[in-house]
């Protein structure tokens, strides 16, 4: 089922949490809503679920306008960060709950409900634990139960709010892989919220980067990583270094010197130069960035060097081969291999 | 149009709350119930107390036996409360700062008086010190009267108010752990210095809370004291007992006048207790009663 | 760890884990002494007295029709009152935790009034209200219903003193029920009524049971607030604590002791039951109170 969010605005007590957000979610895709806390990603998810109602705008499930429907009527599966399992019910009762509360006309017979719940328990690899209580399971197991419970109602859309946020790193990595497998097998349209870029990049078909109640960029992980369309996205996804520069004569200048970087179609004037620390090359040229080494640390297979660039007040980081003999105060000359210019704010 | 309007109304309600009409209905039922069960009796006390005018009210309070009852009640509380404070401090120190066998059992035992009927709390002292007991006549031979005298009333009061301070302080001190005390000791403070300068400031609001509840019960206890007091007018009648005597003598106005003082004490206790909860909620281990 | 334990000299008592904090012997010693003097020895005196009767004597005294009658009155009325308190206490806890309305904090504070108001005061006030010429009594009188001086009056007094136990037991647990769980229920298609009856109330069951048991235990032992309103007619409205009192005034210590022992055994059984409910709730659901 495709989901279209159309010009949605959401205010909490006059405080805007989302400004005019539009997003098309394709049928069957796994899309991540990624952003720092306060970016509005959870609000957007809850609006899609019907747990919140938009101040303005509409949300379509396929061709139906879901905005007028309550959360119960939308038929979505929602997985909460803290599992939100019913503690007084066994695992089997938890999974069957959504089917058991249906009106008699649409409720499957008891035997059928049980069969489906057991099947789902099998799908989430917890067969045999149906008589346990949530309290008797580990965090990872509980989140699997929560997913099975959400899947039991055959939801039109599966929504996950920081599903791995409460788990430790090891379990989180396992569950990530496992969620991808489940998604590939069941094919539900899935939206999940995360603040962990690694998780979003690894897991999603597309990601939607959000900041301060707005969508910054939507695209495939490669697309967003390689072609960030805003300073925020460049800074938020992956590591980045930034320098204040000037564009003049179709060239990038810093401290009265050209850097040997063509400015393309950037407007002349002040600009912000972004590049990835690992995407630089050392050069022997006058038209390049030069800096004095502040600190140099060995980080795994590379040497992370912090430089004070002449002509700029702020330090930047670059990665050099680990055997590079960078010492304090040594001068380095380099150019980014790939970079991006944004107009200065 | 109508369906659209209904849909709009529906979507304004959060999925985790009830519609406003239901909410107001439930609030109304609750407040009506509270009004009838809790507030009305309180109102009735003052209403009856002043039913014959302020002159009769003051006369009832200044009457000689009433004055004696007030003095006795204050005296009993002045003995019982401090003793239970010392006990509460000792018990919570032992329980919160140390690990030892039988600790959980000891905590249960401290709560024991709460599950004993007040009349039984008085009865046990009658059995211990009354005629036919071993202790009573022996003490009497030294001129010490326990039953139908001040010591008995104090003992019965201590019994029923026994857990108040301790059960307030134990969870609080357990929560605070031993870090502060260890730090003070490592800085060279001795045990008493550590207690008075570190522990006591940490628990002062919780202690006050416990004292407040303990005092309210001590001054208001009826059943246990009724059993041991003998109700000698002007000598062994505390305020609640005097209220009963006046009431049974069909002197309702005087009974309610004296009762109004106790009701006032209850109100002051409630106000102070609420202020402590609102201002120092975390420092008095909120939620424990 | 084990080598450490082996080389550490055994402390006095030998039952606590060693730490640097002083005062263990002093505080635990005082705690146990004080507990023994105030609570334990008197209760033992009671036990010895009843043991002196022998089983036959005990059963004979216990099967006195008036004793059985008073126990029946106490238990039946306490059961009714605790049941009513569970219904309204749960509702009150719900309204106080979930809804925001003017004066909520004041109403919340007033819940504790029965803890603070002396029972004798509550007793005469309730009697004044529910007497045929009282505020509430006058409402029911035309219907031919009498409340004061009947078992209904006992139930009213027991509702008064038991209510805070139910509310204060449920409140903290209800605050813990996360919004997420209710949202989860809604996303799974449950309507609000289903969410409340199938998700929220069942998760409150242990607290409701505990509150019921506490209110029941308190009501059975209650004396002061009941005797004024009860009418105290043997076999009809004479409660067990009152009969203890009457037996004592007749110097029938044996009769008083027997009733006291029966009541104590039942209170301890209730105490045990409460502990079992909480242990069960903790082990199964991971929470208790």
Q: Is B19 domain-assigned?
A: no
Q: Which residue has the higher pLDDT, C8 or B267?
A: B267
Q: pLDDT (tens digit, 9 = 90+) per residue, C197-246? A: 999 999 999 999 999 999 999 999 999 999 999 999 999 999 999 999 99
* C36 within domain boundaries: no
Final residue of a structural domain among A196, A211, A233: A233
- Does the structure show a pLDDT above 70 at C4? no
The answer, yes or no, to whether residue C18 has pLDDT greater than 80, is no
Query: Which is nearest to C180 in space by CA: A144, A79, A147?
Result: A79
Contacts of C266-275 with C-beta under 8 Å, sequence gap 24+, read: C266/C220, C267/B115, C267/B116, C267/B117, C267/C217, C267/C220, C267/C221, C268/B115, C270/B115, C270/C213, C270/C216, C270/C217, C271/B108, C271/B115, C271/C217, C273/C213, C274/C210, C274/C213, C274/C214, C275/B108
Of B38-52, B174-188, C3-17, give the range with the top mean pLDDT: B38-52
Q: Among B7, B12, B15, whose Cβ lies nearest the Cβ of A51?
A: B15
C1: pLDDT confidence band, cut at 50, 70 and 90? very low
Given a cut of 60, whether residue B11 has pLDDT beyond it is no
Asked if B210 reaches chain C (Cβ–Cβ under 8 Å), the answer is no
Average pLDDT, stretch C50-67? 91
**Residues of C near A (CB-CB distance < 8 A)?**
178, 180-181, 183-191, 194, 198-199, 202-203, 205, 284-287
Same domain, A151 and A263: no
Distance between CA atoms of residues B225 and B218, nearest Å: 10
- CB-nearest to A98 from C189, C285, C287 is C189
pLDDT at position A330 is: 84
Mean pLDDT of chain C: 90
**Domain contains C212:** yes
User: Quick one: pLDDT band at residue C132, thresholds 50, 70, 90?
Assistant: very high
**What was the pLDDT predicted at C14?**
53
B245: domain CATH number is 1.10.3720.10
Find the domain containing C87 and state its range. 46-285
Residue B143 region, left (φ>0) first, then alpha (ψ -120 to 50), else beta? Answer: left
CB contact under 8 A, B256 and C124: yes
Do the beta carbons of residue A236 and residue A215 sit within 8 Å? no
Domain count along chain A: 2
**CB contact (8 A) between residue A135 and residue C181:** no
Across the interface, whether the CB atoms of A72 and B15 are under 8 A apart is answered yes
pLDDT digits (tens, 9 = 90+) for B107-161: 989 989 988 999 999 999 999 998 778 888 888 889 888 999 999 999 999 999 9
Are A244 and A337 members of one domain?
Answer: yes
Residues of C in contact with A76 (CB under 8 A): 187
The predicted structure's pLDDT at residue B13:
66
Top residue of B51, B94, B272 to mutate, by most chain C CBs within 10 Å, is: B94
Query: What pLDDT is attached to residue C285?
Result: 80
Residue B90 burial (C-beta neighbours within 10 Å; 0-12, 13-18, 19+): buried
Query: Residue A67 belongs to a domain with what CATH number?
Result: 3.40.50.300
Quick one: pLDDT at residue B287? 41
Residue A331 pLDDT: 86
Task: Please judge whether B11 and A67 are an interchain contact, meaning their C-beta atoms are less than 8 angstroms apart.
Answer: yes
For B175-221, give the DSSP string.
HH-SHHHHHHHHTT--HHHHIIIIIHHHHHHHHHHHHHHHHHHHHH-
- Residue C1 is assigned to a structural domain of this protein: no
Best mutation target among C5, C125, C140, C288 (most B Cβ atoms within 10 Å) is C125
- C15: pLDDT confidence band, cut at 50, 70 and 90? low
Residue-wise pLDDT for C246-263, tens only, equals 999 999 999 999 999 999
- CB–CB of C223 and B289 under 8 A? no
Asked if C115's CB is within 8 angstroms of B216's CB, the reply is yes
Chain C residues whose beta carbon lies within 8 Å of the beta carbon of residue B181: 21
- pLDDT beyond 70 at C6: no
- What's the whole-number mean pLDDT along residues A18-44? 95
CB B270 to CB C113 under 8 A? yes
Q: Starting at the edge strand that comes first in sequence, how are the strands of the sheet with A189-194 ordered?
A: A76-79, A157-161, A189-194, A30-34, A206-211, A214-219
| Total count of domains within chain C | 1
**A181 and A263 co-located in one domain:** no
Are A148 and A29 within one domain? yes
Positive or negative, the Cα torsion across A331, A332, A333, A335?
Answer: negative
A228 with A277, same domain?
no
pLDDT in the model for residue A158: 95
Give the pLDDT confidence score for residue A107 in this predicted structure.
Answer: 95
Residues A170, A287, single domain; the answer is no
With respect to residue C155, please indicate whether it lies within any of the assigned structural domains.
yes
Choosing among C21, C197, C242, which should be mutated to test the B contact, i.e. which has the most B CBs within 10 A?
C21
CB contact under 8 A, B120 and C263: yes
Average pLDDT over residues A98-110: 94
Better-predicted residue by pLDDT, B14 or A205: A205
Residue C108's pLDDT band (cuts 50, 70, 90): very high
pLDDT at A52 over 70: yes
Same domain, A96 and A153: yes
For residue range B183-221, list pLDDT tens digits in order. Answer: 999 999 999 999 999 999 999 999 999 999 999 999 999
Question: Could B16 and C118 be called an inter-chain contact, meaning their C-beta atoms sit closer than 8 Å?
Answer: no
CA distance C242 to C127: 17
Which residues of chain B lie closer than 8 angstroms to C265, CB-CB? none
Residues B213-256: pLDDT tens digits?
999 999 999 999 999 998 899 899 999 999 999 999 999 999 99
Cβ–Cβ below 8 Å for C264 and B240: no
Select the highest-mean-pLDDT range: B180-184, C147-151, C155-159. C155-159
Find the CB nearest C244 among B36, B123, B274.
B123
A68/B15 Cβ within 8 A: no
Q: What is the ipTM of this complex?
A: 0.91
Of A51, A71, A135, the CB nearest to C285: A135
State the angle between helix axes of B252-280 and B200-220 in degrees (0 to 180), rounded to the nearest 10: 160
- Co-location of A215 and A68 in the same domain: yes
Other Cβ atoms within 10 Å of C238 Cβ, number: 21
Residues of C in contact with A69 (CB under 8 A): none
Cβ-Cβ contacts under 8 Å for A117 (sequence gap 6 or more): A92, A95, A96, A99, A130, A148, A152
Q: Any idea how long chain A is?
A: 345
Shortest distance between the Cα of B11 and any Cα of chain A, in A, equals: 6
CATH number, domain containing residue A247: 2.40.50.140
Mean pLDDT on B274-285:
84
Range of the domain at A288: 239-343
Distance (Å, whole) CA B79 – CA B155 = 10
C39 in any annotated domain: no
Instruction: Measure in Å the smallest separation between the Cα of B245 and chain C Cα atoms.
Output: 11
Q: What is the mean pLDDT of residues C171-186?
A: 91
pLDDT of residue C3: 39
Distance CA B33, CA C88 (A): 8
Cβ(C90)–Cβ(C124) below 8 Å: no
Residues of C in contact with B131 (CB under 8 A): 251
* Furthest CA-CA distance within chain B: 95
Within a domain: residue B5? no
Residue C73 located in a structural domain: yes
C-alpha–C-alpha distance, residues B222 and B240, integer Å: 6
Do residues A248 and A308 both lie within one domain? Answer: yes
User: Residues 37..96 of B with a Cβ closer than 8 Å to C: which?
Assistant: 37-42, 44-45, 48, 83, 86-87, 89-91, 93-94
Three state DSSP letters for chain A: CCEEEEEEEEEECCEEEEEEEEEEECCCCEEEEECCCCCCHHHHHHHHHCCCCCCEEEEEECCEEHHHCCHHHHCEEEECCCCCCCCCCCHHHHHHHHHHCCCCCCCCCHHHHHHHHHHHHHHCCCCCCCCCCHHHCCHHHHHHHHHHHHHHCCCCEEEEECCCCCCCHHHHHHHHHHHHHHHHHHCCEEEEEECCHHHHHHHCCEEEEEECCEEEEEECHHHHHHCCCCHHHHHHCCCCEEEEEEEECCEEEECCEEEEEECCCCCCEEEEEEECCCCEEECCCCCCEEEEEEEEEEECCEEEEEEEECCCCCEEEEEEECCCCCCCCCEEEEEECCEEEEECC
Report if residue C9 sits inside a domain. Answer: no
Residue B80 CA: distances (Å) to CA of B151, B152, C93, C174, C278: 10, 11, 34, 36, 32
* Structural domain for B150, as ranges: 38-288
Q: Do C221 and B133 touch (CB under 8 A)?
A: no
DSSP C38: I
Name the token pair of A306: 């912090």
A254-268 average pLDDT score = 84
- The count of structural domains within chain B is 1
- Do the Cβ atoms of C120 and B33 come within 8 Å? no
pLDDT at residue B1 tops 50: no
Which residues on chain B place their C-beta less than 8 Å from a C-beta of chain A? 4, 7-8, 10-12, 15
Rounded average pLDDT over C15-42: 89
Cα three-residue angle B67-B68-B74, rounded to 5 degrees: 90
Q: Spell out which residues of chain C touch residue A103, defining contact as CB-CB under 8 Å.
A: none
Domain boundary among A233, A252, A284: A233
Q: Is B178 on the interface with C (CB under 8 A)?
A: yes
Report how far apart, in Å, the C-alpha atoms of B139 and of each of B135, B146, B149, C33 are.
6, 8, 13, 20
Phi-psi map region of A16: left, alpha, beta (phi>0 left; psi -120 to 50 alpha): beta
**Nearest CB to C203: which of A50, A51, A87?**
A87
Question: Would you say residue B286 has pLDDT above 50?
Answer: no
Q: Do A133 and C184 touch (CB under 8 A)?
A: no
Structural domain contains residue C197: yes
Phi and psi at C283, nearest 5°, equal -70, -35
Note whether A202 and A268 are same-domain residues.
no
pLDDT at residue number A268? 87
CATH number, position C132 = 1.10.3720.10
One domain for residues A81 and A221: yes
Say what percent of chain B tops pLDDT 90.
Answer: 74
Question: How much is the pLDDT for A193?
Answer: 96
Same structural domain, A277 and A339: yes
Contact status of A67 with chain B (Cβ, < 8 Å): yes
């Amino acid at each position: 089922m495709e989901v279209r969010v159309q010009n949605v605005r959401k205010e909490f007590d006059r405080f805007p949490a989302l400004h005019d957000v539009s997003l098309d979610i394709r049928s069957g895709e796994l899309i991540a809503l990624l952003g720092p806390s306060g970016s509005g990603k959870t609000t957007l998810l809850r609006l899609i679920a019907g747990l919140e109602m938009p101040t303005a705008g509409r949300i379509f499930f396929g061709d139906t306008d879901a905005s007028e429907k309550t959360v119960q009527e939308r038929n979505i599966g929602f997985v909460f960060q803290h599992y939100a399992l019913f503690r007084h019910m066994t695992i089997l009762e938890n999974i069957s709950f959504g089917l058991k509360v249906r009106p008699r006309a649409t409720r499957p017979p008891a035997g059928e409900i049980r069969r489906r719940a057991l099947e789902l328990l099998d799908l989430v690899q917890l067969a045999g634990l149906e008589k346990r209580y949530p309290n008797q399971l580990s965090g990872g197991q509980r989140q699997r139960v929560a997913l099975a419970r959400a899947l039991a109602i055959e939801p039109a859309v599966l929504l996950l709010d920081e599903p791995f946020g409460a788990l430790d790193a090891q379990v989180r990595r396992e569950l990530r892989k496992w969620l991808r497998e489940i998604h590939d097998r069941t094919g539900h349209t899935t939206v999940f919220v995360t603040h962990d870029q690694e998780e979003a990049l690894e897991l999603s078909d597309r990601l939607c980067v959000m900041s301060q109640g707005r969508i910054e960029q939507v695209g495939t992980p490669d697309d967003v990583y390689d072609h960030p369309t805003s300073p925020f996205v460049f800074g938020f996804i992956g590591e980045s270094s930034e320098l204040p520069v000037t564009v003049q004569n179709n060239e990038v200048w810093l401290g009265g010197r050209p850097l040997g970087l063509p400015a393309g179609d950037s407007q002349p004037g002040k600009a912000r130069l972004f590049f990835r620390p690992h995407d630089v090359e050392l050069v022997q040229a006058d038209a390049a960035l030069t800096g004095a080494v502040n600190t140099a640390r060995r980080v795994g297979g590379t040497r992370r060097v912090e430089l004070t660039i002449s002509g700029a007040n702020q330090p930047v980081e670059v990665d050099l081969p680990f055997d590079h003999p960078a010492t304090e105060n040594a001068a380095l000359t380099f150019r980014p291999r790939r970079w991006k210019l944004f107009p200065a704010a | 149009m109508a369906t659209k309007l209904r849909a709009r109304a529906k979507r304004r309600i959060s999925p985790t709350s009830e519609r406003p009409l239901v909410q107001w209905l439930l609030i109304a039922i609750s407040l009506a119930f509270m009004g009838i069960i809790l507030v009305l009796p309180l109102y009735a006390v003052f209403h009856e107390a002043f039913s014959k005018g302020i002159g009769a009210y003051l006369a009832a309070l200044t009457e000689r036996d009433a004055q004696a009852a007030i003095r006795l009640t204050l005296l009993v509380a002045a003995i019982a409360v401090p003793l239970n404070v010392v006990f509460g401090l000792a018990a919570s120190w032992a329980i919160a700062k140390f690990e030892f066998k039988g600790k959980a059992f000891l905590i249960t035992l401290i709560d024991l008086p709460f599950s004993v009927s007040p009349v039984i709390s008085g009865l046990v002292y009658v059995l211990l010190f009354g005629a036919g007991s071993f202790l009573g006549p022996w003490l009497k031979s030294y001129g010490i009267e326990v039953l139908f005298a001040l010591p008995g009333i104090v003992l019965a009061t201590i019994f029923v108010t026994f857990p108040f301070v301790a059960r307030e302080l134990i969870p609080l001190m357990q929560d605070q752990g031993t870090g502060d005390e260890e730090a003070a000791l490592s800085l060279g403070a001795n045990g008493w210095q550590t207690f008075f300068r570190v522990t006591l400031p940490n628990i002062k609001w919780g202690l006050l809370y416990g004292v407040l509840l303990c005092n309210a019960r001590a001054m208001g206890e009826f059943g246990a004291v009724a059993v041991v007091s003998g109700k000698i007018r002007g000598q062994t009648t505390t305020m609640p007992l005097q209220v009963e005597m006046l009431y049974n003598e069909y002197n309702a106005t005087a009974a309610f006048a004296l009762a109004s003082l106790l009701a006032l004490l209850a109100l002051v206790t409630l106000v102070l207790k609420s202020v402590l909860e609102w201002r120092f909620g975390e420092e008095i281990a909120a939620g424990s009663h | 760890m084990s080598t450490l334990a082996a080389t550490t000299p055994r402390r006095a008592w030998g039952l606590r884990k060693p730490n640097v904090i002083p005062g263990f012997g002093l505080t635990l010693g005082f705690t146990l002494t004080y507990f023994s003097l105030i609570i334990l020895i008197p209760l033992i005196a009671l036990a010895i007295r009843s043991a002196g009767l022998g089983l036959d004597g005990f059963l004979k005294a216990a099967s006195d029709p008036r004793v059985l009658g008073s126990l029946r009155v106490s238990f039946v009325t306490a059961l009714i009152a605790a049941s009513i308190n569970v219904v309204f206490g749960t509702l009150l806890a719900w309204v106080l935790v979930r809804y925001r309305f003017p004066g909520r904090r004041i109403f919340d504070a007033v819940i504790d009034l029965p803890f603070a108001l002396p029972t004798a005061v509550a007793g005469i006030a309730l009697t004044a209200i529910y007497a045929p010429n009282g505020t509430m009594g006058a409402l029911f009188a035309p219907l031919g219903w009498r409340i004061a001086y009947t078992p209904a009056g006992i139930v009213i007094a027991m509702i008064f003193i038991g209510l805070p136990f139910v509310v204060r037991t449920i409140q903290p647990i209800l605050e813990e029920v996360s919004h997420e769980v209710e949202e989860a229920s809604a996303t799974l298609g449950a309507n609000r009524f289903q969410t409340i009856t199938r998700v929220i109330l069942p998760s409150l069951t242990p607290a409701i049971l505990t509150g019921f048991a506490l209110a029941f235990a308190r009501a059975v032992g209650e004396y002061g607030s009941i005797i004024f309103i009860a009418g105290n007619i043997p076999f009809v409205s004479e409660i067990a604590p009152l009969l203890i009192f009457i037996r004592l005034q007749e110097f029938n210590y044996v009769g008083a002791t027997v009733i006291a022992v029966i009541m104590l055994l039942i209170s301890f059984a209730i105490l045990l039951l409460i502990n079992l409910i909480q242990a069960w709730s903790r082990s199964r659901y991971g929470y208790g109170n």
